[in-house]
Amino acid sequence: MSTGLLKIGQLSKLAEVLPSTINFYTNEGLLKASGRSQGGYRLYDRAYAIKQIKKIQQLQQDKRLRIEEIKKVVR
């Protein structure tokens, strides 16, 4: 596995969010996985995923946008 690709648990620690938050963002189409590990785990590009999570959180907290509104901004 490349050092730039992270499993959900690793990403959640770095981004300081719960793994369920990452799953939710992925399922809603706000965060895209870069691929899958041999074991079937979703892998995320470190730089992209952390930047995207922070952007989503900023839109939720500072701008008070709902998920449907955020989808229009981040896609």
* pTM of the complete model: 0.89
Q: CA dihedral defined by 68, 69, 70, 71, rounded to 10 degrees?
A: 50
Three-state secondary structure along 12-75?
Answer: HHHHCCCHHHHHHHHHCCCCCCCEECCCCCEEEEHHHHHHHHHHHHHHHHCCCCCHHHHHHHHC
What is the topology classification, in CATH, of domain 5-74? Multidrug-efflux Transporter Regulator; Chain: A; Domain 2 (1.10.1660)
Question: What does the mean pLDDT of the chain come to?
Answer: 93
pLDDT number for residue 1: 42
What would the pLDDT profile of 17-37 be if each residue is shown by its tens digit? 999 999 999 999 999 999 999
Q: Are 29 and 3 in contact (CB under 8 A)?
A: no
Which stretches in the chain have pLDDT values below 70? 1-3
